[in-house]
């Protein structure tokens, strides 16, 4: 059995990323955003901005655990 190591982005870094965009969506300016492990997702217009350097593996694991993706 092999272990999978996933590097998680600290919450402070994610908050700093959302504040860098003025605290809202970079497309529409809405404050109705959700910070995911690898993306900032606007729930108003649907825009997804990639967080540079964030782990896509952590994003995939987050999607599976939150029920957004079926585990295979």
Q: Can you spell out the DSSP letters for 46-67?
A: --EEEPTT--HHHHHHHHHHTT
Task: Report the distance separating Cα 58 and Cα 3, nearest Å.
Answer: 14
Helix (H, G, I), strand (E, B) or coil at 63: helix
User: What does DSSP assign to residue 6?
Assistant: -
Tell me what the pLDDT averaged over the chain comes to: 78
Q: What is the pLDDT of residue 32?
A: 86
31: pLDDT confidence band, cut at 50, 70 and 90? confident
Domain locations along the chain: 11-65
Radius of gyration over every alpha carbon of the chain, rounded to an integer in angstroms: 13
């Amino acid at each position: 059995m092999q272990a999978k190591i996933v590097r998680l982005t600290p919450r402070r870094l994610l908050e700093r990323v959302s504040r860098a965009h003025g605290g809202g969506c970079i497309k529409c300016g809405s404050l109705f955003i959700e910070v995911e492990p690898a993306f900032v997702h606007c729930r108003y217009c649907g825009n997804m901005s990639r967080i540079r350097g964030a782990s896509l593996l952590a994003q995939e694991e987050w999607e599976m655990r939150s029920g957004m993706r079926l585990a295979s």
